[in-house]
């Protein structure tokens, strides 16, 4: 599945034979690194200004993530407990049945979620997998929820089948900067990720793509990740920013934690460079604490994964999220998509 390659800021490698005109680069890595280096109050002021121009800063979108097929993945993403290459205690499971998924989706809706994301730990789905996931998408949509799926790399026909089923968003993260990527994943390259995003976009499904920070990347590489995302044409509709959750048994289990203010800076820079995107606080919230989460909202985060479990790692419980927003005088975005 992977949230998310050997190239620079220029993005979609042409998949057709005709040569593509070079795309204008909206944000250079230098410009983004300069944002990262701003004094903290200045950076937050700029991010907050952009945020208010595009969204109600008091509202946060709630999205729920369900692992519909867990573990046993053939990829080697160094942060991921679902890779079959690491001994993390995650049991591999089959794709969940429709009724089980709909039960979870109804619960998520009752708890206030507006978007329901389904994740499957595949390198890429097979034809028969896509048929089943399309059924899940139709069922969840019928409940009145927005749908999102993260299933790994997609072929053209698979992207089309998901679009035909009414899928709203497809998540495929870039994970990190191109020049750090090979330190984290060796079983697929960066360009394959960009190609999947292009396929999704081509069939009219909105793109959800972000990355993970705190994996040992340097300052410039964090800027490089944001530059890749911000220079996608157009930039993603949803941008999940994950703080590494260090899982025993993975190669990154002993990684030094990232300075929490650097995480807040990453949120702020994502907001400034992708003004109308939903910037989502994703993995790592449980370790972050309330004060850093509040700073992230101030920096322009306006979506959270809601529920007590992400794919396989913990998440704050739903009551804690509701209480935190109440303490901040904030509330849940009622509109499932777009501006609030
Ligand atoms: S190892 Fe598999 S499930 Fe985990 S992030 Fe990579 S592709 Fe996704």
Ligand 1, CB within 6 Å, residue ranges: 1-2, 73, 75, 77, 80, 82-83, 121, 152
Q: Is residue 2 part of a domain?
A: no
**Cα-to-centroid distance, 283 and ligand 1 (Å):** 14
Name the residue range of residue 118's domain: 29-326
19 occurs within a structural domain? no
Q: Is residue 333 part of a domain?
A: no
What's the CA gap between 44 and 33, in Å, rounded? Answer: 15
pLDDT of residue 307: 63
CA 78 – ligand 1 centroid, Å = 9
21 in any annotated domain: no
The answer to which of 2-6, 170-174, 286-290 has the lowest mean pLDDT is 2-6
Cα angle 208-214-217, degrees, rounded to a multiple of 5: 95
160: exposed, middle or buried (Cβ count in 10 Å: 0-12, 13-18, 19+): middle
Q: Whose CA is nearest to atom 5 of ligand 1?
A: 2
The per-residue pLDDT for 316 is 62
Mutate to test the pocket of ligand 1, among 75, 86, 119, 249 (most ligand atoms within 8 A of CB): 75
Please tell me the distance from the alpha carbon of residue 30 to that of residue 335, in angstroms, as a whole number.
Answer: 36
Start-to-end Cα distance in the chain: 29
Residue 338 lies inside a defined structural domain of this protein: no
State how many domains the chain has: 1
**What pTM value is reported for the model?**
0.87
Distance separating alpha carbons of residues 297 and 285, to the nearest angstrom: 12
Could you report the per-residue pLDDT of 241-251, keeping only the tens digit for each? 999 999 999 99
CATH of the domain at 85: 3.20.20.70
Percent of the chain whose predicted confidence (pLDDT) is above 90: 73
Q: Are 209 and 155 in contact (CB under 8 A)?
A: no
Distance between Cα 298 and ligand 1 center (Å): 31
Closest CA to 242 of 336, 305, 165, 179: 305
Concatenated DSSP letters for 182-241? HHH--SS-HHHHHHHHHHHHHTTPEEE--EEE-SS--HHHHHHHHHHHHTSSSPPSEEEE
Residue 151 has pLDDT above 80, yes or no: yes
Report which protein residue has its CA nearest ligand 1's atom 3. Answer: 121
- Position 10 scores a pLDDT of 31
Cα distance between residue 269 and residue 300, in whole Å: 9
Give the three-class secondary structure for 63. strand
pLDDT, the chain, mean = 88
- How far apart, in Å, are the Cα atoms of 296 and each of 73, 149, 201? 32, 25, 28
Task: Work out the pLDDT band at 305, boundaries 50, 70, 90.
Answer: confident
In the chain, the DSSP E strands lie at 59-69, 115-120, 146-150, 169-171, 206-208, 211-213, 238-243, 278-281, 303-305, 331-332
Helix (H, G, I), strand (E, B) or coil at 108: helix
Atom nearest to 74 CA in ligand 1: 2
Active site residues: 73, 77, 80, 117, 148, 208, 280
Q: Is residue 134 in some structural domain?
A: yes
Whether residue 65 is predicted with pLDDT greater than 60 in this model: the reply is yes
Q: Give distance in angstroms: CA of 58 to centre of ligand 1.
A: 33
What does the pLDDT read at residue 322? 84
């Amino acid at each position: 599945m992977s949230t998310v390659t050997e190239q620079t800021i220029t993005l979609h490698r042409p998949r057709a034979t005709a040569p593509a005109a070079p795309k204008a680069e909206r944000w250079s890595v230098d410009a983004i690194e300069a944002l990262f280096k701003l004094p903290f109050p200045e950076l937050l002021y700029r991010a907050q200004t952009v945020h208010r121009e595009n969204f109600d800063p008091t509202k946060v979108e709630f999205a729920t993530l369900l692992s519909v097929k867990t573990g046993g993945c053939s990829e080697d993403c160094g942060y991921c407990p679902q890779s079959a290459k690491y001994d993390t205690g995650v049991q591999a499971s089959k794709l969940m049945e429709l009724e089980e998924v709909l039960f979870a989706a109804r619960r998520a809706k009752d708890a206030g979620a507006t978007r329901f994301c389904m994740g499957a730990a595949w390198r890429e789905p097979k034809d028969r997998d896509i048929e089943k996931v399309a059924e899940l998408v139709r069922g969840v949509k019928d409940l009145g929820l927005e749908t999102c799926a993260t299933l790994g790399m997609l072929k053209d026909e698979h992207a089309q089948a998901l679009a035909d089923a009414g899928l709203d968003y497809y998540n495929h993260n870039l994970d990190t900067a191109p020049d750090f990527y090979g330190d984290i994943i060796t079983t697929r390259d960066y360009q394959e990720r960009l190609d999947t995003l292009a396929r999704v976009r081509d069939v009219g499904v909105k793109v959800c793509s972000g990355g993970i920070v705190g994996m040992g990347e340097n300052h410039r590489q964090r800027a490089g990740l944001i530059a890749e995302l911000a220079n996608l044409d157009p930039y993603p509709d949803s941008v999940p920013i994950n703080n590494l959750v260090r899982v025993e048994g993975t190669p990154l289990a002993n990684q030094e934690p990232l300075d929490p203010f650097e995480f807040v800076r990453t949120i702020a820079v994502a907001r400034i460079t992708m003004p109308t995107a939903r910037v989502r606080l994703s993995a790592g919230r449980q370790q972050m604490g309330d004060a850093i989460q509040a700073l992230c909202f101030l920096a322009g985060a306006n979506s959270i994964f809601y529920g007590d479990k992400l794919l396989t790692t913990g998440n704050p419980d739903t009551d804690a999220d509701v209480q935190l927003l109440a303490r901040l005088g904030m509330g849940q975005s009622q509109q499932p998509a777009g501006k609030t």
